[in-house]
Structure 1
Amino acid sequence: MARRKLIYEGKAKILYEGPEPGTYVQYFKDDATAGNGAKKDVIEGKGVLNNRMSEFFMVGLGNIGIPTHFIRRINMREQLIRQVEIIPLEVIVRNFAAGSMAKRLGMEEGAALPRPIVEFSYKDDKLGDPLVPEEYIIAFGWASQQDMDDIVSMALRVNDFLSGTMYGVGIKLIDFKIEIGRIWDNEFPRLVVADEISPDCCRLWDVETGQKLDKDVFRQDLGNLADAYTEVARRLGVLPSNVTHRPKPTLIN
Protein backbone atom coordinates (compact mmCIF):
# COMPACT_ATOMS: atom_id res chain seq x y z
CA MET A 1 0.00 0.00 0.00
CA ALA A 2 1.31 3.45 -0.87
CA ARG A 3 2.60 5.58 1.98
CA ARG A 4 1.18 9.08 1.93
CA LYS A 5 1.87 12.23 3.87
CA LEU A 6 -1.03 13.67 5.82
CA ILE A 7 -1.75 17.28 4.86
CA TYR A 8 -4.95 18.03 6.77
CA GLU A 9 -7.74 16.19 8.58
CA GLY A 10 -11.18 17.72 8.95
CA LYS A 11 -14.46 16.46 10.37
CA ALA A 12 -15.49 14.56 7.24
CA LYS A 13 -12.42 14.30 5.00
CA ILE A 14 -8.67 13.86 5.02
CA LEU A 15 -6.22 15.39 2.54
CA TYR A 16 -3.05 13.54 1.64
CA GLU A 17 -0.15 14.60 -0.51
CA GLY A 18 -0.96 13.84 -4.14
CA PRO A 19 1.14 11.85 -6.63
CA GLU A 20 2.02 15.00 -8.59
CA PRO A 21 2.91 18.56 -7.54
CA GLY A 22 -0.18 20.69 -7.10
CA THR A 23 -2.47 17.74 -6.29
CA TYR A 24 -4.03 16.19 -3.19
CA VAL A 25 -5.78 12.91 -2.51
CA GLN A 26 -9.09 13.61 -0.77
CA TYR A 27 -10.32 10.76 1.44
CA PHE A 28 -13.96 10.66 2.55
CA LYS A 29 -14.51 9.49 6.12
CA ASP A 30 -17.57 7.79 7.61
CA ASP A 31 -17.68 10.33 10.45
CA ALA A 32 -20.82 12.42 10.87
CA THR A 33 -20.86 15.60 12.94
CA ALA A 34 -23.38 18.29 13.78
CA GLY A 35 -23.35 21.49 15.80
CA ASN A 36 -19.70 22.22 14.92
CA GLY A 37 -18.68 18.80 16.18
CA ALA A 38 -20.83 18.71 19.33
CA LYS A 39 -22.65 15.63 18.03
CA LYS A 40 -20.58 12.85 16.47
CA ASP A 41 -21.05 9.35 15.14
CA VAL A 42 -19.62 6.97 12.55
CA ILE A 43 -22.07 6.10 9.76
CA GLU A 44 -20.95 2.98 7.94
CA GLY A 45 -20.58 3.62 4.20
CA LYS A 46 -21.19 7.39 4.36
CA GLY A 47 -17.75 8.22 2.95
CA VAL A 48 -18.22 5.91 -0.02
CA LEU A 49 -21.58 7.45 -0.88
CA ASN A 50 -20.34 11.03 -0.53
CA ASN A 51 -17.29 10.31 -2.67
CA ARG A 52 -19.45 8.97 -5.48
CA MET A 53 -22.05 11.73 -5.27
CA SER A 54 -19.45 14.50 -5.09
CA GLU A 55 -17.76 13.03 -8.16
CA PHE A 56 -21.13 13.01 -9.96
CA PHE A 57 -21.81 16.66 -9.21
CA MET A 58 -18.26 17.91 -9.84
CA VAL A 59 -18.15 16.19 -13.23
CA GLY A 60 -21.57 17.60 -14.05
CA LEU A 61 -20.46 21.13 -13.18
CA GLY A 62 -17.36 20.74 -15.33
CA ASN A 63 -19.52 19.61 -18.24
CA ILE A 64 -21.42 22.91 -18.16
CA GLY A 65 -18.31 25.04 -17.86
CA ILE A 66 -18.08 25.59 -14.10
CA PRO A 67 -14.49 24.87 -13.03
CA THR A 68 -13.85 22.65 -9.99
CA HIS A 69 -10.88 21.19 -8.14
CA PHE A 70 -11.89 17.65 -9.15
CA ILE A 71 -9.55 15.63 -11.38
CA ARG A 72 -10.75 12.02 -11.08
CA ARG A 73 -11.98 9.42 -8.62
CA ILE A 74 -9.24 7.04 -7.50
CA ASN A 75 -11.30 4.42 -5.68
CA MET A 76 -14.44 4.05 -3.58
CA ARG A 77 -13.26 6.50 -0.92
CA GLU A 78 -10.70 8.73 -2.59
CA GLN A 79 -10.47 11.26 -5.38
CA LEU A 80 -7.61 13.19 -6.90
CA ILE A 81 -8.07 16.94 -6.66
CA ARG A 82 -6.15 20.09 -7.52
CA GLN A 83 -4.47 21.96 -4.73
CA VAL A 84 -6.33 25.24 -4.27
CA GLU A 85 -6.12 28.29 -2.04
CA ILE A 86 -9.43 28.16 -0.19
CA ILE A 87 -11.24 31.46 0.34
CA PRO A 88 -12.25 31.35 4.07
CA LEU A 89 -15.97 31.49 3.34
CA GLU A 90 -18.90 29.13 3.13
CA VAL A 91 -21.07 30.24 0.23
CA ILE A 92 -24.70 29.42 1.06
CA VAL A 93 -27.52 29.45 -1.49
CA ARG A 94 -31.08 29.23 -0.18
CA ASN A 95 -34.18 28.46 -2.25
CA PHE A 96 -36.53 27.78 0.69
CA ALA A 97 -36.47 28.87 4.33
CA ALA A 98 -34.90 26.27 6.60
CA GLY A 99 -32.36 25.86 9.36
CA SER A 100 -30.80 29.02 10.75
CA MET A 101 -32.60 31.32 8.29
CA ALA A 102 -36.02 30.08 9.38
CA LYS A 103 -35.02 30.57 13.04
CA ARG A 104 -33.50 34.04 12.51
CA LEU A 105 -36.49 35.40 10.61
CA GLY A 106 -39.27 33.43 12.27
CA MET A 107 -40.24 31.85 8.96
CA GLU A 108 -42.04 28.59 8.44
CA GLU A 109 -39.57 25.88 7.44
CA GLY A 110 -40.02 25.07 3.77
CA ALA A 111 -41.47 28.47 2.80
CA ALA A 112 -40.43 29.38 -0.75
CA LEU A 113 -38.16 32.43 -1.02
CA PRO A 114 -38.92 35.12 -3.63
CA ARG A 115 -35.63 34.29 -5.33
CA PRO A 116 -32.46 32.35 -4.50
CA ILE A 117 -30.57 34.14 -1.73
CA VAL A 118 -26.78 33.94 -1.44
CA GLU A 119 -25.24 34.29 2.03
CA PHE A 120 -21.67 34.04 3.31
CA SER A 121 -20.29 32.70 6.57
CA TYR A 122 -16.74 33.04 7.82
CA LYS A 123 -15.11 29.61 8.13
CA ASP A 124 -14.13 29.34 11.78
CA ASP A 125 -15.50 26.49 13.90
CA LYS A 126 -14.52 28.23 17.15
CA LEU A 127 -16.72 31.18 16.21
CA GLY A 128 -19.54 29.01 14.90
CA ASP A 129 -19.04 30.06 11.25
CA PRO A 130 -20.76 33.46 11.68
CA LEU A 131 -22.64 35.10 8.81
CA VAL A 132 -20.72 38.01 7.31
CA PRO A 133 -21.75 40.68 4.79
CA GLU A 134 -19.83 41.37 1.58
CA GLU A 135 -18.49 44.58 3.14
CA TYR A 136 -16.57 42.56 5.75
CA ILE A 137 -15.25 40.15 3.14
CA ILE A 138 -13.86 42.92 0.96
CA ALA A 139 -12.62 45.09 3.86
CA PHE A 140 -10.67 42.22 5.45
CA GLY A 141 -9.18 41.18 2.11
CA TRP A 142 -10.67 37.68 1.99
CA ALA A 143 -11.89 38.39 -1.54
CA SER A 144 -12.07 41.37 -3.89
CA GLN A 145 -15.22 42.96 -5.24
CA GLN A 146 -14.59 41.25 -8.57
CA ASP A 147 -14.15 37.94 -6.75
CA MET A 148 -17.47 38.45 -4.98
CA ASP A 149 -19.28 39.23 -8.22
CA ASP A 150 -17.81 36.08 -9.76
CA ILE A 151 -18.58 33.96 -6.67
CA VAL A 152 -22.24 35.02 -6.60
CA SER A 153 -22.57 34.32 -10.33
CA MET A 154 -20.91 30.92 -9.91
CA ALA A 155 -23.04 30.02 -6.89
CA LEU A 156 -26.26 30.80 -8.76
CA ARG A 157 -25.14 28.70 -11.72
CA VAL A 158 -24.36 25.82 -9.37
CA ASN A 159 -27.81 26.30 -7.87
CA ASP A 160 -29.46 26.05 -11.29
CA PHE A 161 -27.58 22.84 -12.05
CA LEU A 162 -28.20 21.20 -8.68
CA SER A 163 -31.86 22.26 -8.51
CA GLY A 164 -32.61 20.87 -11.96
CA THR A 165 -30.70 17.66 -11.37
CA MET A 166 -32.39 17.02 -8.04
CA TYR A 167 -35.88 17.92 -9.20
CA GLY A 168 -35.45 15.47 -12.06
CA VAL A 169 -35.18 12.64 -9.51
CA GLY A 170 -37.98 13.87 -7.27
CA ILE A 171 -35.89 15.83 -4.77
CA LYS A 172 -36.33 19.48 -3.79
CA LEU A 173 -33.08 21.42 -3.22
CA ILE A 174 -33.84 23.53 -0.14
CA ASP A 175 -30.37 25.03 0.25
CA PHE A 176 -26.69 24.14 -0.02
CA LYS A 177 -23.24 25.44 0.76
CA ILE A 178 -20.07 25.28 -1.27
CA GLU A 179 -16.49 26.41 -0.87
CA ILE A 180 -14.59 28.37 -3.48
CA GLY A 181 -10.84 28.25 -4.02
CA ARG A 182 -8.24 29.92 -6.20
CA ILE A 183 -5.99 28.12 -8.64
CA TRP A 184 -3.08 30.19 -9.90
CA ASP A 185 -2.22 30.10 -13.59
CA ASN A 186 1.13 31.89 -13.54
CA GLU A 187 0.16 35.17 -11.81
CA PHE A 188 -3.54 34.99 -12.62
CA PRO A 189 -5.99 33.45 -10.10
CA ARG A 190 -8.95 31.39 -11.29
CA LEU A 191 -11.92 30.63 -9.04
CA VAL A 192 -13.09 27.01 -8.78
CA VAL A 193 -15.64 25.06 -6.77
CA ALA A 194 -13.76 23.07 -4.11
CA ASP A 195 -14.32 20.78 -1.10
CA GLU A 196 -17.35 18.56 -1.90
CA ILE A 197 -20.97 18.57 -3.00
CA SER A 198 -22.99 15.89 -1.22
CA PRO A 199 -25.97 15.53 1.14
CA ASP A 200 -23.54 16.60 3.89
CA CYS A 201 -23.72 20.16 2.55
CA CYS A 202 -27.22 20.27 1.02
CA ARG A 203 -30.76 20.18 2.37
CA LEU A 204 -32.73 17.74 0.25
CA TRP A 205 -36.44 16.96 0.64
CA ASP A 206 -38.55 14.48 -1.25
CA VAL A 207 -40.81 16.47 -3.58
CA GLU A 208 -43.93 14.42 -2.80
CA THR A 209 -43.60 13.58 0.91
CA GLY A 210 -41.24 16.25 2.25
CA GLN A 211 -39.05 13.50 3.76
CA LYS A 212 -35.61 14.82 4.60
CA LEU A 213 -32.74 13.09 2.77
CA ASP A 214 -29.77 15.05 4.11
CA LYS A 215 -27.71 15.55 7.27
CA ASP A 216 -30.76 16.92 9.11
CA VAL A 217 -31.69 13.24 9.52
CA PHE A 218 -28.64 12.98 11.80
CA ARG A 219 -28.98 16.44 13.36
CA GLN A 220 -32.63 15.89 14.29
CA ASP A 221 -32.57 12.11 14.95
CA LEU A 222 -35.05 11.42 12.16
CA GLY A 223 -33.80 7.96 11.23
CA ASN A 224 -30.86 6.25 9.58
CA LEU A 225 -28.53 8.66 7.79
CA ALA A 226 -26.98 5.96 5.61
CA ASP A 227 -30.43 5.00 4.34
CA ALA A 228 -31.20 8.62 3.43
CA TYR A 229 -27.90 9.09 1.55
CA THR A 230 -28.32 5.73 -0.16
CA GLU A 231 -31.73 6.81 -1.43
CA VAL A 232 -30.27 10.01 -2.92
CA ALA A 233 -27.44 8.06 -4.56
CA ARG A 234 -29.90 5.49 -5.91
CA ARG A 235 -32.07 8.17 -7.50
CA LEU A 236 -29.04 9.83 -9.06
CA GLY A 237 -27.89 6.49 -10.49
CA VAL A 238 -24.51 6.57 -8.75
CA LEU A 239 -25.07 3.94 -6.07
CA PRO A 240 -21.87 1.86 -5.90
CA SER A 241 -22.44 -1.82 -6.54
CA ASN A 242 -19.96 -2.93 -3.89
CA VAL A 243 -19.70 -0.66 -0.84
CA THR A 244 -16.47 -1.83 0.72
CA HIS A 245 -14.19 -0.02 3.12
CA ARG A 246 -10.56 0.59 2.37
CA PRO A 247 -8.18 0.99 5.27
CA LYS A 248 -6.54 4.36 5.63
CA PRO A 249 -3.08 4.80 4.08
CA THR A 250 -0.10 4.63 6.39
CA LEU A 251 0.98 8.13 7.39
CA ILE A 252 4.48 9.59 7.51
CA ASN A 253 5.08 12.61 9.67
Structure 2
Amino acid sequence: MARRKKIYEGKAKILYEGPEPGTFVQYFKDDATAFNAEKKDVIEGKGVLNNRLSEFFMNGLTAVGIPNHFIRRINMREQLIRQVEIIPLEVIVRNYAAGSLSKRLGIEEGTALPRPIIEFCYKDDALGDPLVAEEHIIAFGWAAQQDLDDMVALALRVNDFLSGVMFGVGIRLVDFKIEIGRVWDNDFQRLIVADEISPDSCRLWDMETGQKLDKDVFRRDLGNLADAYTEVARRLGVLPSNVTHAVKPTLIN
Protein backbone atom coordinates (compact mmCIF):
# COMPACT_ATOMS: atom_id res chain seq x y z
CA MET A 1 0.00 0.00 0.00
CA ALA A 2 1.34 3.43 -0.90
CA ARG A 3 2.23 5.57 2.08
CA ARG A 4 -0.54 7.99 2.95
CA LYS A 5 -0.90 11.17 4.95
CA LYS A 6 0.21 10.81 8.56
CA ILE A 7 -2.62 11.60 10.98
CA TYR A 8 -0.95 10.95 14.33
CA GLU A 9 2.21 9.43 15.77
CA GLY A 10 2.35 8.00 19.27
CA LYS A 11 5.01 6.17 21.24
CA ALA A 12 4.33 2.76 19.67
CA LYS A 13 2.12 3.36 16.63
CA ILE A 14 1.49 5.69 13.70
CA LEU A 15 -1.92 6.39 12.17
CA TYR A 16 -2.15 7.14 8.47
CA GLU A 17 -5.07 8.21 6.34
CA GLY A 18 -6.97 5.13 5.20
CA PRO A 19 -7.84 4.11 1.64
CA GLU A 20 -11.53 4.84 2.22
CA PRO A 21 -13.37 7.54 4.18
CA GLY A 22 -13.80 6.59 7.80
CA THR A 23 -10.69 4.36 7.91
CA PHE A 24 -7.13 4.63 9.16
CA VAL A 25 -4.02 2.55 8.58
CA GLN A 26 -2.40 1.71 11.93
CA TYR A 27 1.35 1.05 11.77
CA PHE A 28 3.10 -0.71 14.66
CA LYS A 29 6.62 0.55 15.45
CA ASP A 30 9.48 -1.32 17.10
CA ASP A 31 9.87 1.44 19.70
CA ALA A 32 9.57 0.46 23.35
CA THR A 33 8.95 3.08 26.02
CA ALA A 34 8.33 3.03 29.76
CA PHE A 35 7.81 5.50 32.60
CA ASN A 36 6.09 8.03 30.33
CA ALA A 37 8.84 7.64 27.68
CA GLU A 38 11.69 8.31 30.12
CA LYS A 39 13.08 4.90 29.16
CA LYS A 40 13.30 4.16 25.44
CA ASP A 41 14.69 1.51 23.12
CA VAL A 42 14.05 -0.11 19.75
CA ILE A 43 13.21 -3.82 19.92
CA GLU A 44 13.55 -5.54 16.56
CA GLY A 45 10.36 -7.35 15.57
CA LYS A 46 8.20 -5.88 18.36
CA GLY A 47 5.92 -4.06 15.93
CA VAL A 48 5.34 -7.19 13.87
CA LEU A 49 4.46 -9.22 16.97
CA ASN A 50 2.08 -6.59 18.34
CA ASN A 51 0.38 -6.23 14.95
CA ARG A 52 -0.27 -9.98 14.75
CA LEU A 53 -1.28 -10.30 18.41
CA SER A 54 -3.64 -7.33 18.27
CA GLU A 55 -5.19 -8.81 15.12
CA PHE A 56 -5.66 -12.11 16.97
CA PHE A 57 -7.34 -10.50 19.98
CA MET A 58 -9.54 -8.11 17.98
CA ASN A 59 -10.76 -10.94 15.76
CA GLY A 60 -11.52 -12.90 18.92
CA LEU A 61 -13.53 -10.01 20.32
CA THR A 62 -15.49 -9.80 17.07
CA ALA A 63 -16.20 -13.54 17.22
CA VAL A 64 -17.83 -13.18 20.65
CA GLY A 65 -19.78 -10.04 19.72
CA ILE A 66 -17.59 -7.35 21.29
CA PRO A 67 -17.38 -4.40 18.87
CA ASN A 68 -13.95 -3.01 17.97
CA HIS A 69 -12.21 -0.92 15.33
CA PHE A 70 -10.28 -3.72 13.56
CA ILE A 71 -11.11 -4.36 9.90
CA ARG A 72 -8.21 -6.44 8.55
CA ARG A 73 -4.44 -6.82 8.63
CA ILE A 74 -2.71 -5.29 5.62
CA ASN A 75 0.84 -6.55 6.05
CA MET A 76 3.36 -7.43 8.76
CA ARG A 77 3.20 -4.05 10.46
CA GLU A 78 -0.04 -2.44 9.33
CA GLN A 79 -3.73 -3.00 9.82
CA LEU A 80 -6.83 -1.28 8.50
CA ILE A 81 -9.04 0.09 11.27
CA ARG A 82 -12.23 2.03 11.58
CA GLN A 83 -11.90 5.72 12.38
CA VAL A 84 -13.30 6.46 15.83
CA GLU A 85 -13.60 9.41 18.15
CA ILE A 86 -11.32 8.33 21.00
CA ILE A 87 -12.55 9.07 24.51
CA PRO A 88 -9.49 10.59 26.25
CA LEU A 89 -9.31 7.89 28.91
CA GLU A 90 -7.35 4.73 29.50
CA VAL A 91 -9.62 2.06 30.94
CA ILE A 92 -7.61 -0.24 33.21
CA VAL A 93 -8.95 -3.60 34.39
CA ARG A 94 -7.08 -5.27 37.27
CA ASN A 95 -7.50 -8.90 38.32
CA TYR A 96 -4.36 -9.08 40.50
CA ALA A 97 -2.39 -6.43 42.33
CA ALA A 98 0.62 -5.22 40.36
CA GLY A 99 2.42 -2.09 39.22
CA SER A 100 1.03 1.24 40.38
CA LEU A 101 -1.83 -0.35 42.34
CA SER A 102 0.65 -2.23 44.53
CA LYS A 103 2.70 0.94 45.04
CA ARG A 104 -0.30 3.13 45.84
CA LEU A 105 -2.01 0.76 48.25
CA GLY A 106 0.87 -1.32 49.56
CA ILE A 107 -0.63 -4.58 48.32
CA GLU A 108 1.85 -7.32 47.47
CA GLU A 109 2.23 -7.95 43.76
CA GLY A 110 0.34 -11.02 42.64
CA THR A 111 -2.39 -10.76 45.27
CA ALA A 112 -5.71 -11.83 43.75
CA LEU A 113 -8.26 -9.02 43.95
CA PRO A 114 -11.74 -9.84 45.31
CA ARG A 115 -13.23 -8.82 41.97
CA PRO A 116 -11.98 -7.08 38.84
CA ILE A 117 -11.22 -3.44 39.62
CA ILE A 118 -11.66 -0.81 36.91
CA GLU A 119 -9.69 2.43 36.97
CA PHE A 120 -9.60 5.39 34.62
CA CYS A 121 -6.59 7.49 33.64
CA TYR A 122 -6.78 10.76 31.73
CA LYS A 123 -4.77 10.47 28.51
CA ASP A 124 -2.24 13.29 28.68
CA ASP A 125 1.47 12.52 28.34
CA ALA A 126 2.47 15.91 29.76
CA LEU A 127 0.61 15.09 32.97
CA GLY A 128 1.74 11.47 33.10
CA ASP A 129 -1.74 10.03 32.39
CA PRO A 130 -3.09 10.71 35.90
CA LEU A 131 -5.61 8.49 37.66
CA VAL A 132 -9.03 10.16 37.69
CA ALA A 133 -12.36 9.45 39.36
CA GLU A 134 -15.72 9.16 37.62
CA GLU A 135 -16.62 12.56 39.07
CA HIS A 136 -13.73 14.16 37.18
CA ILE A 137 -14.75 12.44 33.95
CA ILE A 138 -18.34 13.65 34.14
CA ALA A 139 -17.49 17.15 35.46
CA PHE A 140 -15.00 17.86 32.67
CA GLY A 141 -17.17 16.39 29.95
CA TRP A 142 -14.84 13.60 28.86
CA ALA A 143 -17.74 11.14 29.01
CA ALA A 144 -21.34 11.08 30.23
CA GLN A 145 -22.60 8.77 32.95
CA GLN A 146 -24.20 6.47 30.36
CA ASP A 147 -20.89 6.34 28.49
CA LEU A 148 -19.10 5.36 31.70
CA ASP A 149 -21.61 2.62 32.41
CA ASP A 150 -21.19 1.30 28.87
CA MET A 151 -17.39 1.51 29.12
CA VAL A 152 -17.35 -0.50 32.33
CA ALA A 153 -19.62 -3.15 30.81
CA LEU A 154 -17.45 -3.31 27.67
CA ALA A 155 -14.22 -3.56 29.68
CA LEU A 156 -15.60 -6.41 31.80
CA ARG A 157 -16.63 -8.32 28.67
CA VAL A 158 -13.12 -7.88 27.27
CA ASN A 159 -11.71 -9.08 30.59
CA ASP A 160 -13.83 -12.24 30.51
CA PHE A 161 -12.68 -13.01 26.97
CA LEU A 162 -8.98 -12.28 27.50
CA SER A 163 -8.83 -14.08 30.84
CA GLY A 164 -10.27 -17.22 29.31
CA VAL A 165 -7.99 -17.15 26.27
CA MET A 166 -4.90 -16.64 28.40
CA PHE A 167 -5.89 -19.26 30.96
CA GLY A 168 -6.16 -21.76 28.14
CA VAL A 169 -2.46 -21.31 27.29
CA GLY A 170 -1.17 -21.17 30.86
CA ILE A 171 -0.95 -17.39 31.19
CA ARG A 172 -2.46 -15.31 34.00
CA LEU A 173 -4.06 -12.04 32.88
CA VAL A 174 -2.95 -9.77 35.71
CA ASP A 175 -4.29 -6.52 34.27
CA PHE A 176 -4.72 -4.67 30.99
CA LYS A 177 -5.71 -1.32 29.58
CA ILE A 178 -7.84 -0.47 26.60
CA GLU A 179 -9.03 2.63 24.84
CA ILE A 180 -12.62 3.09 23.77
CA GLY A 181 -13.96 5.22 20.95
CA ARG A 182 -17.28 6.52 19.70
CA VAL A 183 -18.65 5.67 16.27
CA TRP A 184 -21.85 6.89 14.71
CA ASP A 185 -24.35 4.85 12.73
CA ASN A 186 -26.61 7.57 11.38
CA ASP A 187 -27.82 9.31 14.57
CA PHE A 188 -26.99 6.39 16.86
CA GLN A 189 -23.75 6.42 18.87
CA ARG A 190 -21.91 3.21 19.78
CA LEU A 191 -18.82 2.62 21.90
CA ILE A 192 -16.21 0.20 20.56
CA VAL A 193 -12.77 -1.05 21.62
CA ALA A 194 -9.97 0.82 19.83
CA ASP A 195 -6.17 1.29 19.85
CA GLU A 196 -4.61 -2.18 20.40
CA ILE A 197 -4.57 -5.24 22.65
CA SER A 198 -1.06 -6.66 22.97
CA PRO A 199 1.59 -7.44 25.60
CA ASP A 200 2.33 -3.71 25.51
CA SER A 201 -1.04 -3.07 27.12
CA CYS A 202 -1.41 -6.18 29.33
CA ARG A 203 0.41 -7.76 32.26
CA LEU A 204 0.83 -11.44 31.49
CA TRP A 205 2.44 -13.93 33.88
CA ASP A 206 3.16 -17.60 33.33
CA MET A 207 0.77 -19.45 35.63
CA GLU A 208 3.34 -21.96 36.85
CA THR A 209 6.57 -19.97 37.09
CA GLY A 210 5.33 -16.39 37.42
CA GLN A 211 7.61 -15.39 34.54
CA LYS A 212 6.59 -12.02 33.10
CA LEU A 213 5.65 -12.06 29.43
CA ASP A 214 4.78 -8.38 28.98
CA LYS A 215 6.35 -4.92 28.90
CA ASP A 216 7.51 -5.27 32.52
CA VAL A 217 10.35 -7.30 31.01
CA PHE A 218 11.53 -4.01 29.48
CA ARG A 219 10.52 -1.79 32.40
CA ARG A 220 12.43 -3.91 34.92
CA ASP A 221 15.29 -5.21 32.74
CA LEU A 222 14.18 -8.83 33.11
CA GLY A 223 15.42 -10.11 29.76
CA ASN A 224 14.67 -9.85 26.06
CA LEU A 225 11.29 -8.26 25.34
CA ALA A 226 10.98 -9.79 21.87
CA ASP A 227 11.51 -13.25 23.35
CA ALA A 228 8.70 -12.67 25.87
CA TYR A 229 6.26 -11.44 23.21
CA THR A 230 7.26 -14.29 20.90
CA GLU A 231 6.41 -16.79 23.65
CA VAL A 232 2.93 -15.28 24.01
CA ALA A 233 2.40 -15.44 20.24
CA ARG A 234 3.68 -19.02 20.09
CA ARG A 235 1.34 -20.21 22.85
CA LEU A 236 -1.63 -18.56 21.18
CA GLY A 237 -0.80 -20.16 17.84
CA VAL A 238 -0.06 -16.83 16.19
CA LEU A 239 3.45 -18.08 15.37
CA PRO A 240 4.58 -21.61 14.49
CA SER A 241 5.34 -23.66 17.60
CA ASN A 242 9.01 -24.09 16.61
CA VAL A 243 9.69 -20.33 16.59
CA THR A 244 11.64 -19.21 19.66
CA HIS A 245 12.50 -15.64 18.70
CA ALA A 246 11.10 -13.18 16.18
CA VAL A 247 14.01 -12.06 14.04
CA LYS A 248 14.00 -8.71 12.28
CA PRO A 249 11.21 -8.98 9.70
CA THR A 250 11.11 -7.83 6.11
CA LEU A 251 8.36 -5.24 5.72
CA ILE A 252 5.88 -6.16 3.01
CA ASN A 253 3.95 -3.32 1.39
TM-score bracket for the superposition, by shorter chain length: over 0.9
Aligned residues: 248
Question: How far did 1:125 drift?
Answer: 0.7
Match of residue 171 from structure 2: 171
Match of residue 104 from structure 2: 104
Q: Is the 8 A contact 1:49 1:239 kept in 2?
A: no
Which amino acid counterpart does residue 219 of structure 1 have in structure 2?
A: R
Q: Is the 8 A contact 1:90 1:179 kept in 2?
A: yes
Match of residue 192 from structure 1: 192
Match of residue 180 from structure 1: 180
Match of residue 134 from structure 2: 134
Match of residue 246 from structure 1: 251
Which amino acid counterpart does residue 148 of structure 1 have in structure 2?
A: L
Question: How far did 1:83 drift?
Answer: 0.4
Match of residue 152 from structure 2: 152
Question: How far did 1:5 drift?
Answer: 0.7
Task: Map 1:19-30 to 2 at 5 A.
Answer: 19-30=19-30
- Name the CA distance, whole Å, in 1 between partners of 2:14 and 2:250: 15
Question: How far did 1:3 drift?
Answer: 3.3
Match of residue 42 from structure 1: 42
- Name the CA distance, whole Å, in 2 between partners of 1:232 and 1:98: 19
Match of residue 82 from structure 1: 82
Question: How far did 1:187 drift?
Answer: 2.2
Q: Is the 8 A contact 1:45 1:245 kept in 2?
A: no
Gaps of 5+ in 2: none
Question: How far did 1:87 drift?
Answer: 0.1
Deviations, residues 38-65 of structure 1 (Å, cap 9, x unaligned): 0000000000000000000000001111
Question: How far did 1:184 drift?
Answer: 1.1
- Name the CA distance, whole Å, in 2 between partners of 1:203 and 1:64: 22
- Name the CA distance, whole Å, in 1 between partners of 2:77 and 2:196: 13
- Name the CA distance, whole Å, in 1 between partners of 2:11 and 2:51: 15
- RMSD, aligned α-carbons: 1.3
Match of residue 116 from structure 1: 116
Deviations, residues 154-200 of structure 1 (Å, cap 9, x unaligned): 10010000000001000000000000000111222110000000000
Match of residue 202 from structure 1: 202
Higher relative contact order (CA 8 A, sep 6+): 1
Identity of aligned residues (%): 82
Which amino acid counterpart does residue 205 of structure 2 have in structure 1?
A: W
**SS of aligned partner of 2:200:** helix
Which amino acid counterpart does residue 159 of structure 1 have in structure 2?
A: N
- Name the CA distance, whole Å, in 2 between partners of 1:207 and 1:170: 5
Match of residue 161 from structure 1: 161
